[in-house]
Structure 1
Amino acid sequence: MDVLSDMLSAIRTGQPYAGRTKCQAPWGVLFPDGDAAACHVVLQGSCWLIPRDGAPLALGVGDVVFTPHGDAHAIVDQPGSPTIDYQPKRGDESFIREMTIPGAGATTQMLCASYSFDQARPHPLLHGLPSVVHLPARVGHHPALRAAVDLMGNELRQSRAGTEAILPALIDMLLLYVLRAWLDDQSGPAMTGWATALNDPAITIGLHRIHRHPERPWTVEDLAGEAGLSRAAFAKRFAAVVGHPPLTYLTWWRMTTAARLLRESDATLSTVAERCGYGSEFAFAKAFKREFGTAPGRYRRHRRPG
Structure 2
Amino acid sequence: MDPLEDVLSLIGATSRLSAALAAGGPWALRFDPPAGVKFNVVRRGTCWLRVDGVADPLRLREGDCFLLTRPVAFTLASDLELPAEPAGPRFAAAVDGVARAGAGDEVFLVGGAFTFSDRAQALLLDGLPPVIHVAAGTPEAAAVRRAVEEIDTELQRNAAGARLVAEHLAIVMLVRILRLYLAGEAGRTSSGWLAGLTDPTVATVLRRMHARPAHPWTVAELARTAAVARSTLAARFKQVVGQGPLEYLTAWRIELAADRIRRGDGTVATIARDVGYGSESAFSVAFKRTIGLSPRAYRAAAATARSD
1:271 match:
270
Letter in 2 for 1:5: E
TM alignment of 1:9-158, pairs within 5 A: 9-12=9-12, 15-25=14-24, 26-33=26-33, 35-53=35-53, 54-79=55-80, 80-86=82-88, 88=91, 98-118=97-117, 122-123=121-122, 126-138=125-137, 140-158=139-157
Stretch moving more, 226-235 or 21-30: 21-30
What is the letter of the counterpart of residue 22 of structure 1? L
Does structure 2 conserve the Cα–Cα contact (< 8 Å) formed by 1:18 and 1:113? yes
Change (3 A) 1:302 1:107: farther
Q: Which runs of 5+ in 1 are unaligned?
A: 91-96
Corresponding residue number in structure 1 for 2:208: 209
- In 2, are the aligned partners of 1:74 and 1:83 still within 8 Å (CA)? no
Q: Partner residue of 2:199? A: 200
- Assess if the C-alpha contact under 8 Å between 1:27 and 1:101 holds in 2: no
Query: Which residue identity lines up with residue 36 of structure 1 in the other structure?
Result: G
Residues 85 and 293 from structure 1, CA distance in 2 versus in 1: closer, same or farther, beyond 3 angstroms?
farther
Say if 2:303 is the partner of 1:301: yes
Q: Offset at 1:178? A: 0.7
Identity rate, percent:
33
Could you tell me how far apart the structure 2 residues matched to 1:126 and 1:103 are? Answer: 34
TM alignment of 1:193-272, pairs within 5 A: 193=191, 197-264=196-263, 266-272=265-271
SS of aligned partner of 2:159:
coil
- The structure richer in helix per residue is 2
Report how many aligned residue pairs link the two structures: 298
CA distance in 2, matches of 1:221, 1:303: 42
Shift of 1:195: 6.7
Aligned in 2, Cα 1:121/1:136: closer, same or farther, shift over 3 Å?
closer
Q: CA deviation digits over 1:40-88, x for unaligned, max 9?
A: 1100122211110223221110111111223222222321242324465
The aligned amino acid for 2:217 is: W
Residues of 2 paired with 1:86 and 1:215: CA distance?
48
- Structure 2 spans left out of the alignment, 5+ residues: none
Over 3 Å counting, the alpha-carbon distance change for 1:264 and 1:159 in structure 2 is: farther
Q: Give the AA of the match of 1:154.
A: T
Paired amino acid for 2:160 = A
> How far apart are 1:139 and its partner, in Å?
5.7
1:180-195 matched pairs, under 5 angstroms: 180-186=179-185, 191-193=189-191
Q: 1:110 to 1:275 in 2, by over 3 A?
A: farther
Q: TM-score, normalised by structure 1?
A: 0.84
TM-score scaled to structure 2, two decimals? 0.84
Shift of 1:288: 2.0
Name the SS of the counterpart of 2:172 in structure 1: helix
- In the other structure, the counterpart of 1:179 is 178
Q: Summarize the Cα distance change of 1:288–1:304 in structure 2 as closer, same or farther, 3 Å threshold.
A: farther
Q: 1:279 and 1:89, CA in 2 relative to 1: closer, same or farther beyond 3 A? A: farther
Distance in 1 (CA, whole Å) between partners of 2:264 and 2:44 is 42
Deviation at 1:165, TM superposition (A): 4.4
Quick check: 1-10 or 146-155, which moved more?
1-10
Q: Which moved more, 1:41-50 or 1:158-167?
A: 158-167
Distance change (3 Å), C-alpha of 1:82 and 1:164:
closer
Of the structure 1 ranges 143-152 and 218-227, higher mean CA displacement relative to structure 2 is found in: 218-227
